Structure 1
């Protein structure tokens, strides 16, 4: 049986696999309200034809897509924004006020990512990053609302993972599109105990205090479910929030302990090793029976990025 690129969920929401790197790594969502639609998260430029194919399969005119909504401008969430906006003539881009300039002129985003990955790897992973005309961009603030047909969406400023991050509350589903604020939960790590959730501390704006506050802010809405970008919907988020908040504290303790025992030249490698030990141990305690090799395949990229983000956070504290 082939992996389903599209999965229809309840409440007129369809989960779309963005085809970034591997299956079940990153998702975006098509949401329907009456005769209008919104695309929440966009994946990379390579995701654009996947979204357009879904619209064609469903007989949805592209002009009925009212909004394109990335939760923040990291390229696994917003790399496809420019391409989608070119293809969706009536759509308005809704983006965090602190991220809008990077969608209007993505040159700095591209330069930064290219410096990290190299030109060839960047193009393979993300493709072309296209600008969006400023007149097609809106920047909702905390508590602002829009409608998609008869459906209301509420924007929540949620820093901690990134300063340019909002989450989107959908009262119709009692769900929240959480971007990276509510962490990661890859389906192969789900066990009889439920989803295995973990924080994401990718560089460069990790702020544990702000992230804890943002998770608390989401939970005050008493959501029934969270729609994660990484990956898919999770139900009954209360216990997951408790676990996630505890792990954020653990990450901070781990980072401070590691930093006290190594020089700066070895910091990231030491953090990665400690994070790997921590997450593998917790996965086993959660009932995960996958091999270490399989866990490395699933979590290796996050281990690298999270250790880099923790190192940036530690260094910024020293400089403050």
Structure 2
């Protein structure tokens, strides 16, 4: 595959905008969340019409509009805003963005649609995980999307972008309100969080390094592995991850993700439910990721690896505990 073209421009409203242009009219836009190259929105342009897949937070809106303008497109050219799931780093800015896109419809999993129309419960859930101050600082005040502009996307839903088919697949595992988008033109999936996280700082001679995510509160390991296997059945040539951008060694990464999902489960069972469970889960995840990063050929200092993965380890530990408690109760 061709190497992407990196673009960095200064916009009067949004500041420095950073994005990558790939073939087939696909661009990865850095949403500016947390740190550079941490969270992306993907823009697809076809015959002068456009679609965003995942949009970041309210703070990302000016960047998305700035890149759109830099490409010579008006807000009226955007027909679709697709969110892979309603976690706020993916969909938090959808309502605010839609206010600028008069022709766009918001495409979302049926389980997530009500949260886009009325984000009250979404904010409450995020507040329970992150705390009220972090939610206010990181995401801003969520804007509801009018119900008439929301399109529910069940299994197999087809989004028509100027004749280019984007097919939505129901892909639980990270969240039950998660969909992935198959783009046959590019032979690629837009995977949200179902195909894990792959930060470019960890790239080595072996290629990309990826880890799964068990962020609260709907991690389901067997469903996640099934969703990964299902996507592999399409013989994709690339995956576009929200965290972060394109990876191409799909079969290897899928196998490594499934190995780590199994390791997550084994860790949760090994730790059990002691008073210090969270700390033990974090320590186990830290050891797992460090070992696998070194085996991958990552040469970053240990302190830097831990810094880059600190948020993920914290949230994964929370999510694993929630999964374990639900699983144990159902057993």
| TM exceeding 0.5 | yes
Name the counterpart of 1:79. Answer: 92
Q: Are 1:157 and 2:170 counterparts? A: yes
Name the counterpart of 2:301. Answer: 291
Contact map agreement 1:167 1:179 (CA 8 A) in 2: yes
Name the counterpart of 2:282. Answer: 272
Name the counterpart of 1:63. Answer: 76
Question: How many Å separate the matches in 1 of 2:261 and 2:130?
Answer: 27
Name the counterpart of 1:223. Answer: 236
User: What secondary structure sits across from 1:87 in the alignment?
Assistant: coil
Equivalent residue pairs, number? 317
Name the counterpart of 1:191. Answer: 204
Question: How many Å separate the matches in 2 of 1:116 and 1:54?
Answer: 32
Name the counterpart of 2:322. Answer: 312
List gaps (5 residues or longer) in structure 2. 1-6, 9-15
Question: How many Å separate the matches in 2 of 1:117 and 1:216?
Answer: 31
Candidates 126, 129, 140, aligned match of 1:113? 126
Question: How many Å separate the matches in 2 of 1:64 and 1:219?
Answer: 32
User: What secondary structure sits across from 1:66 in the alignment?
Assistant: strand
Q: Are 1:98 and 2:111 counterparts? A: yes
Question: How many Å separate the matches in 1 of 2:133 and 2:159?
Answer: 39
TM-score by length of 2: 0.93
Question: How many Å separate the matches in 1 of 2:326 and 2:34?
Answer: 31
1:246-304 CA-partner distances (Å, limit 9, x unpaired): 11111111111111xx51x2111110111101110111111111112101111000000
Contact map agreement 1:34 1:151 (CA 8 A) in 2: no
Q: Are 1:233 and 2:246 counterparts? A: yes
CA-CA distance at 1:28 after TM superposition: 0.8
List gaps (5 residues or longer) in structure 1. none
CA-CA distance at 1:116 after TM superposition: 3.2
Contact map agreement 2:17 2:63 (CA 8 A) in 1: no
Q: Are 1:13 and 2:23 counterparts? A: no
Cα RMSD, aligned residues only: 1.4
Candidates 117, 135, 138, aligned match of 2:151? 138
CA-CA distance at 1:4 after TM superposition: 6.5
1:161-200 CA-partner distances (Å, limit 9, x unpaired): 0000000000010000000000011000011111111100
TM-score by length of 1: 0.96
Candidates 23, 44, 49, aligned match of 1:31? 44
